[in-house]
């Protein structure tokens, strides 16, 4: 990510009481100014369907208010954009937001627990089709970090129609894309910026749910991430990914975890978790979570790597292993045409070889 690109800055309400009782209708280009993510607009629609004007949920500081569309399970008030597309007795909903309270489980969390099918949609991206948590025909993709979720509300749409709709999504404000991608995750993330309540959610195909309800991450200032990781012996880059954010997690005791967010220029993501062996909440060997996935054990210099993935060609992958210097490690990856089983295993080997965590490490020592 180029330092010559200015970071993205968006509008935020001063207090939760300023939230709209009902999210206002606003076109995508105008909504972009209020969103901490890239807003996408449909450029092609299923036959017989027309778009309605989307509605915007503005960002505000934490606080429970009586407002339609706000998050029901937390006092958080992050931004989001919702569009309905309908016609001929059929109707679907598109929801866009930055999934930033945990790593998006299997890269398509709204489809958690269902058998999913990946389809290429261009520029290295894939869309997953399956059944969402409401039992609806659904799809999900991450595009330049934005989570775009589709849910069929009435009638039926073919796989081909849904894939074509995702493939034809275009940024509402093209110049916002490089700025959002140049902004560190910790500066975009609502949960990194506010002490909002968390909720336990799955993060991958192996069981390790998001930590407790208390906001407990201590995020490293963006300008200090590279020096901090170098001091910990953790690589600053891997393949085409560069570390833009890092946090330590714990319960106030010496038992803490280090988490690193690596991003690619196109918005792909890796998430590395490290802890001193037995000193945190990663438990070996890992146990499968409740999501259909392929699991295998691969060799890494005579050590086992527990690898799980939704699809061998596209990911999303989840790897757990132990470093000989006495560290437990987990690497999660977003889905994409270059992040399948073999490419991801190469990233695991590269990170493992580059790790030089020592007993003098300030956080994990």
CA 2, 3, 9 angle in degrees (round to 5)? 105
Query: Residue 324: which pLDDT band, with cuts at 50, 70 and 90?
Result: very high
Q: What's the pLDDT at 2? A: 47
Q: How many domains does one find in the chain?
A: 2
Structural domain harbouring 305:
198-354
In a domain, 5, yes or no: no
User: For position 279, what pLDDT does the model report?
Assistant: 81
In sequence order, what E strands does the chain have?
40-42, 50-51, 55-57, 80-87, 90-97, 117-122, 125-131, 137-143, 146-154, 169-171, 217-219, 237-238, 241-250, 256-263, 269-276, 294-300, 303-311, 315-323, 327-333
pLDDT for the residue numbered 309: 97
Query: Are 266 and 347 within one domain?
Result: yes
Mean pLDDT of all residues belonging to the chain? 92
Output the CA–CA distances (angstroms, integers) from residue 363 to 132, 229, 309, in the order listed.
Answer: 39, 10, 30
Distance CA 333, CA 315 (A): 7
What is the reported pTM? 0.94
Give yes or no: residues 141 and 251 share one domain.
no
- Residue 3 pLDDT class (50, 70, 90 cuts): low
Residues 289 and 222 in one domain: yes
Mean pLDDT of 279-285: 87
User: Per-residue pLDDT tens for 77-96?
Assistant: 999 999 999 999 999 999 99
Let me know if residue 193 belongs to a domain. no
Q: Do 328 and 214 fall into the same domain?
A: yes
Structure confidence by residue, pLDDT tens digits, 233-276: 999 999 999 999 999 987 655 557 899 999 999 999 999 999 98
Do 61 and 94 fall within a single domain? Answer: yes
């Amino acid at each position: 990510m180029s330092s010559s690109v200015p970071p993205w800055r968006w509008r935020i309400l001063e207090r939760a009481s300023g939230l709209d009782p009902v999210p206002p209708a606003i076109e995508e280009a105008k909504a972009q100014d209020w969103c901490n993510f890239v807003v996408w607009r449909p450029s092609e629609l299923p036959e017989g369907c027309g778009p309605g004007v989307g509605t915007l949920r503005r960002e505000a500081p934490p606080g429970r208010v009586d407002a339609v569309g706000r998050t029901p399970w937390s006092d958080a008030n992050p931004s989001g954009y919702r569009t309905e597309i309908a016609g001929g007795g059929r109707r679907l909903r598109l929801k866009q937001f930055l999934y930033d309270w945990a790593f998006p489980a299997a890269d398509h969390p709204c489809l958690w627990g269902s058998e999913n099918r990946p389809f290429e949609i261009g520029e290295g991206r894939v869309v997953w089709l399956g059944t969402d948590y409401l039992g609806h025909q659904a799809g999900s993709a991450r595009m330049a970090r934005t989570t775009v979720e589709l849910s069929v509300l009435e009638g039926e749409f073919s796989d081909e129609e849904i894939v074509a709709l995702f493939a034809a999504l275009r940024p509402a404000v093209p110049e916002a894309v490089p700025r959002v991608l140049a902004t560190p995750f910790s500066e975009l993330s609502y949960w990194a910026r506010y002490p909002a309540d968390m909720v336990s959610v799955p993060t991958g195909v192996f069981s390790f749910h998001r930590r407790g309800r208390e906001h407990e991450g201590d995020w490293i200032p963006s300008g200090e991430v590279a020096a901090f990781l170098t001091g910990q012996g953790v690589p600053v880059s891997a393949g085409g990914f560069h570390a833009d954010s890092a946090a330590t997690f714990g319960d106030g005791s010496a038992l803490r975890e280090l988490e690193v967010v690596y991003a690619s220029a196109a918005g792909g993501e890796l998430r590395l978790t490290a802890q001193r062996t037995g000193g945190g909440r990663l438990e070996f060997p890992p146990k499968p979570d409740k999501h259909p996935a392929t699991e295998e054990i691969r060799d890494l210099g005579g050590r086992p790597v527990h690898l799980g993935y939704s699809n061998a060609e596209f990911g999303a992958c989840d790897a757990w292993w132990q470093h000989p210097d006495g560290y437990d490690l987990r690497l999660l990856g977003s889905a994409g045409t270059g992040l399948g089983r073999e490419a991801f295993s190469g990233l695991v080997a590269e990170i493992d070889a580059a790790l030089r965590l020592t007993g003098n490490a300030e956080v994990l020592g």
